[in-house]
Amino acid sequence: MINSASKYSTLIKTEAKRLGFLSCGISKAGFLEEEAPRLEKWLNKNMHGQMQYMKNHFDKRLDPTKLVEDSKSVISLLLNYYPSQEQTANSYKLSKYAYGTDYHFVIKDKLKLLLSFIQEEIGDVHGRAFVDSAPVLDKAWAAKSSLGWIGKNSNLLTQQVGSFFFIAELIIDLELEYDLPTTDHCGTCTACIDACPTQAIIEPYVVDGSKCISYLTIELKDNIPSEFKGKMDDWMFGCDVCQDVCPWNRFSKPHNEPLFNPNPDLLSITKKDWEEITEDIFTKIFKNSAVKRTKFSGLKRNINFLKE
């Protein structure tokens, strides 16, 4: 006889697939013992740069039971964003995740549907949806629930589809059947470390966030330090280098989420066009986009830094 935890887990994973998620894994909510000393060491070395929020809610970041009352399970979900087309070669570059509609909106809607489904099918279940906007170590939870392993570039990697996907969670007060972590398949490969334009991957599995191009072009509010002149590889928002060179990403397949399709103009804009971009055009191209996070002034700052 199938027990209810197993039955409910299968039900949830089937519905997650129907909603368009790439995969779904489940782990027992509790304190992340292995991650605690790593996170503390990383913060003490100031590798978070100006990302002060990384220091906040240290306990909650490591223990979802402090985030969601009576939580029993962390349901981790992956959503593919790998595009079928990329920007023209003669362009300042955007990270592929920012081509379409801001993923926070897209995923939050899917998570709400999944939680509603759980409540309708299973009963009085309480929980919260998380998309990169609360103190949850999403990669650690995804790795614990068999969805992949954390690679030398500190991204979650899978043998099946690489790493071009978003990670999200539902943390709920229902006991389920739990998945087991997978094994590390980076082997002796150092492609990501060798290719990082700013040497931000200071050793395998450790990224100095304050040197990462994604941090410099999005999170950093001050001027980009002059030491990074000529090292930004034409990235004006985010960076995909450590993913682009990862051998596992040869298995990436284009997403099938219409909301992640880019504004048609985005792919054909050249460097000259970017240098002359107006606020009106910025608003039109990046309506509902994650790029709005850096604002027009931030994108102009990045472009000016690259062209100097």
Residue 67 domain-assigned (yes or no): yes
Residue 273 domain-assigned (yes or no): no
pLDDT in tens, 163-193: 999 999 999 999 999 999 999 999 999 999 9
Are 293 and 218 in contact by the 8 Å Cβ rule? The answer is: yes
Quick one: pLDDT at residue 35?
79
Residue 74 domain-assigned (yes or no): yes
pLDDT for 46 beyond 80: no
Query: Residue 76: what are its φ and ψ, rounded to 5°?
Result: -100, 140
Quick one: pLDDT at residue 41?
75
Quick one: pLDDT at residue 34?
81
Are 5 and 177 in contact by the 8 Å Cβ rule? The answer is: yes
Q: Which two tokens stand for residue 148?
A: 């992949």
pLDDT for 307 beyond 50: yes
- When pLDDT is averaged across residues 144-162 and rounded to a whole number, the result is 96
Quick one: pLDDT at residue 2?
57
CATH at 97: 3.40.109
Residue 10 domain-assigned (yes or no): yes
Q: Using a cut of 0.75, tell me whether the model's pTM lies above it.
A: yes
Q: Which residue has the higher pLDDT, 248 or 34?
A: 248
pLDDT category of residue 44 using cuts at 50, 70 and 90 = confident
Residue 127 domain-assigned (yes or no): yes
Single-letter amino acid code for the residue at 115: L
pLDDT for 1 beyond 60: no
Q: What single string gives the DSSP state of each residue in 111-130?
A: HHHHHHHHHHHH-S--EEEE
Reduced to 3 states (helix: H, G, I; strand: E, B; else coil), residue 96 is helix
Query: Which residue among the candidates 59, 70, 132, 265 is catalytic per the annotation?
Result: 132
Residue 297 domain-assigned (yes or no): no
Boundaries of domain holding 39: 4-172
d(CA 197, CA 293): 23
Domain count, the chain: 1
Q: Which of 3-17, 32-46, 142-156 has the lowest mean pLDDT?
A: 32-46
Q: Find, among 162, 126, 176, the residue nearest to 244 by Cα.
A: 162
Are 39 and 101 in contact by the 8 Å Cβ rule? The answer is: no
Quick one: pLDDT at residue 119?
97
Residue 65 domain-assigned (yes or no): yes
Sign of CA dihedral 262, 235, 244, 137: negative
Q: What angle do CA 32, 144, 22 make, to 5 degrees?
A: 135
pLDDT category of residue 50 using cuts at 50, 70 and 90 = low
d(CA 126, CA 67): 12
pLDDT for 64 beyond 80: yes
The DSSP bridge pattern shows strands 149-150 and 156-157 to be antiparallel
Q: Which residue has the higher pLDDT, 34 or 184?
A: 184
Active site residue 208: no
| Most confident range, picked from 22-31, 42-51, 62-71 | 22-31
Residue 281 domain-assigned (yes or no): no
The DSSP bridge pattern shows strands 235-237 and 206-207 to be unpaired
